[in-house]
């Protein structure tokens, strides 16, 4: 992670505190540095920008990493609902695949 990039993102956030893309970019930057901090930004997105479809996959995956599969399941389901409403079938498909894998419903041969 580039500290300069994170600093620049925080400047963008100061200019527009409600910009979903900036919040998402900050969460993504924190993903490999501080997972709890990343989750704070994902949670803010889920609460304040419900239709920002990209959040659902990454937030649910992070909850899986934290061992909170019940929360991940809820987020995947909500993400599938929102992505379908938004007509984003690519996102829906990715969320459904991740959900099925977490639930042991993927039937791919190893």
Collapsing DSSP states into helix, strand and coil, what is residue 103?
coil
1-51, pLDDT tens digit by residue?
Answer: 467 899 999 999 999 999 999 999 999 999 989 999 999 999 999 999 999
Are 88 and 79 contacting, i.e. CB atoms less than 8 angstroms apart?
no
Position 68 scores a pLDDT of 97
Residue 91 is classified by DSSP as H
Are 19 and 12 contacting, i.e. CB atoms less than 8 angstroms apart?
yes
Q: Domains (ranges, CATH) in the chain?
A: 1-49 (no CATH), 50-110 (1.25.40.10)
Position 109 scores a pLDDT of 54
68-106, pLDDT tens digit by residue?
Answer: 999 999 999 999 999 999 999 999 999 999 999 999 987
Position 4 scores a pLDDT of 87
Does 108 score more than 70 pLDDT?
no
Position 3 scores a pLDDT of 75
Residues for the chain: how many in total?
A: 110
Distance, CA of 110 to CA of 89 (rounded, Å): 26
Predicted structure pTM score: 0.89
């Amino acid at each position: 992670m580039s500290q300069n990039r994170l600093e620049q993102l925080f400047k963008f956030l100061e200019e527009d505190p409600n910009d979903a893309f900036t919040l998402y970019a900050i969460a993504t930057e924190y993903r490999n540095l501080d997972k709890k901090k990343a989750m704070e930004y994902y949670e803010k997105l889920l609460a304040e920008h419900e239709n920002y479809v990209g959040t659902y996959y990454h937030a649910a995956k992070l909850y899986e990493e934290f061992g909170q599969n019940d929360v991940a399941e809820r987020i995947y389901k909500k993400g599938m609902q929102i992505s379908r409403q938004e007509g984003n079938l690519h996102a829906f498909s990715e969320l459904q695949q991740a959900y099925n894998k977490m639930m042991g419903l993927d039937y791919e041969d190893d």
